Amino acid sequence: MVRHDSYGTTFVKSYHGGALFQQYWVLKNYSNTKRPVCLDAVNDLNSSANVTTYVVNIDDEGDALLRMDSCFLGAYDKKSFGNFLELYNTDTSNRVAQNDTLVSLIQ
């Protein structure tokens, strides 16, 4: 697990010779009546994501979570890994923060 003041908490684990990055947001204001609007917002994020996929999950306690996954595959190279992290941070921080529908569900 990696924590960062600006980018939140990211879970990182070994995955197929690379690293799987996962980040979660609790959708506190999610309900079944808001599901279609939420899924439209998630589909919008997925359609133009750089390196991340977005999924809505319901956890064991019944809470809705926005899960973001991304993989860095292959051998480590400082430049390519740095580029990957920039794109990942844009996907998981900036793009979510600019999506008014998701922001309203997170707050």
> The pTM is what?
0.83
Q: Is the distance from CB of 12 to CB of 68 less than 8 angstroms? A: no
CA–CA distance, 75 with 30 (Å, rounded to integer)? 39
Amino acid in position 3: R
Q: Give bridge partners of residue 77 from the DSSP assignment.
A: none
Q: Is the distance from CB of 107 to CB of 28 less than 8 angstroms? A: yes
CA–CA distance, 36 with 42 (Å, rounded to integer)? 10
Q: Is the distance from CB of 41 to CB of 52 less than 8 angstroms? A: no
pLDDT at 3: 60
As given in the structure block, the two tokens for residue 107 are 């707050």
Over residues 4-17, the pLDDT tens digits come to: 555 557 899 999 99
Over residues 29-63, the pLDDT tens digits come to: 888 888 999 999 999 999 999 999 999 999 899 88
Domains of the chain: 2-106 (3.30.1460)
As given in the structure block, the two tokens for residue 99 are 């999506």
